[in-house]
């Protein structure tokens, strides 16, 4: 499967002094980080640390109180989600969002929507140009399905697939957008050990074969340590650590943050 074209080379993602407030509550407090091109950058932290808030800013769902998000030369802060997607940013949510009765192939084809050049009328009339474009898109869909291991499932309703394969189909649909930056929100949550391993292999392949930058929110520390080139740790909306996975894992502030969460859970269970 070919990688990113030179014309759409992956730029760095720079988050600078990002602050988000909700009715007086500071969800993100002057957070800064840089995602280097073609790397997996994990964003981790205890529950309520601000990870989802950060993702919602990156994808245009939330508007920050202050700070900047730049993807290469483009300022993302304040742009609506469709404008951010048009710049090559794709997001996969934690919850499944595939149309259950639509085939896997047609579900993946939805990811090609922003790349479609022929108009609605031409497509409806089955004009030759529209038919040729649809064939090209379906060829690309089949390539991407094979890349993630779903080439034999294309004719099946998406909702009939096992959970792990449905998550892979969502990843494939995001790849069908030909993104330069991929936001993965807990991609292995709820999976079996085999499904987690397979999904981690696909994500590693996306980085290594396609050169796409990936921002990863994930609670499975085994997956984070295997995949991440860099890790940023949030706690109560603040960045408490940033660096290589092994260094971050042994950082005293990180250990305290996760230990505190574990102790709180034990108190609740009593």
Boundary-marking domain end, from 178, 211, 239: 178
Give the model's pLDDT for residue 137. 87
**Do 203 and 170 lie in a common domain?**
no
In a domain, 47, yes or no: yes
Give the pLDDT mean for 12-41: 95
Per-residue pLDDT tens for 54-113? 999 999 999 999 999 999 999 999 899 999 999 999 998 877 778 888 999 999 988 887
Where is 130: in which H helix or E strand? helix 128-148
**Do 172 and 183 lie in a common domain?**
no
**Do 198 and 235 lie in a common domain?**
yes
Give whole-number Cα distances, 84 to 47, 56, 146, in Å.
Answer: 27, 12, 27
Q: What is the pTM of this model?
A: 0.85
**Do 183 and 261 lie in a common domain?**
yes
User: Which domain does 139 fall in, by range?
Assistant: 99-178
Mean pLDDT, rounded, of the chain: 86
Where is 139: in which H helix or E strand? helix 128-148
Boundary-marking domain end, from 145, 178, 211: 178
Specify the number of domains making up the chain.
2
Q: What does 152-212 look like in DSSP terms, one character per residue?
A: TSTTSBGGGS-HHHHHHHHHHHHHTT--SEEEEESTTTT--HHHHHHHHHHHHHIIIII--
Query: Which of the four pLDDT bands, split at 50, 70 and 90, describes residue 122?
Result: very low
**Do 216 and 174 lie in a common domain?**
no
Give the model's pLDDT for residue 8. 57
In a domain, 3, yes or no: no
Boundary-marking domain end, from 178, 197, 215: 178
* Share of residues in the chain with pLDDT > 70 (%): 86
Specify the residue for token string 């969502």. 170
In a domain, 1, yes or no: no
Beta carbons within 8 Å of 187's beta carbon, 6+ residues apart: 92, 167, 171, 199, 203, 216, 218
**Do 84 and 186 lie in a common domain?**
yes
Judged by average pLDDT, the poorest of 102-106, 122-126, 232-236 is 122-126
Q: Helix crossing, 163-175 with 193-205: angle to 10°? A: 10
In a domain, 7, yes or no: no
The CATH number given to whatever domain includes residue 53 is 3.40.50.300
């Amino acid at each position: 499967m070919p990688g990113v074209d030179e014309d759409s080379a992956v730029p760095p993602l720079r988050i600078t002094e990002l602050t988000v407030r909700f009715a007086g509550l500071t969800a993100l407090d002057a957070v800064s980080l840089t995602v280097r091109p073609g790397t997996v950058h994990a964003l981790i932290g205890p529950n309520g640390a601000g990870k989802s808030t950060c993702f919602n800013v990156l994808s245009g769902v939330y508007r920050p109180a202050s700070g900047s998000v730049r993807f290469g030369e483009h300022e993302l802060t304040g742009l609506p989600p469709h404008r951010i997607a048009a710049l090559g940013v794709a997001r996969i949510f934690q919850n499944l969002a595939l149309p259950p009765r639509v085939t896997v192939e047609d579900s993946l084809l939805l990811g090609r929507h922003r790349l479609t050049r022929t108009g609605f009328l031409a497509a409806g009339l089955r004009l030759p140009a529209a038919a040729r474009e649809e064939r090209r898109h379906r060829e690309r869909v089949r390539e991407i399905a094979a890349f993630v291991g779903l080439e034999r499932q294309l004719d099946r309703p998406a909702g009939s697939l096992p959970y792990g394969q449905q998550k892979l189909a969502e990843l494939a649909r995001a790849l069908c957008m030909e993104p330069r930056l991929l936001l993965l929100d807990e991609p292995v949550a709820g999976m079996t050990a085999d499904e987690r391993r397979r999904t981690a292999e696909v994500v590693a392949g996306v980085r290594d074969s396609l050169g796409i930058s990936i921002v990863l929110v994930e609670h499975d520390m085994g997956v984070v340590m295997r995949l991440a080139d860099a890790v940023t740790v949030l706690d109560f909306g603040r960045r408490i650590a940033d660096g290589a996975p092994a260094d971050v894992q042994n950082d005293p502030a990180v250990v305290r943050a996760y230990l505190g969460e574990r102790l709180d859970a034990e108190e609740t269970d009593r």
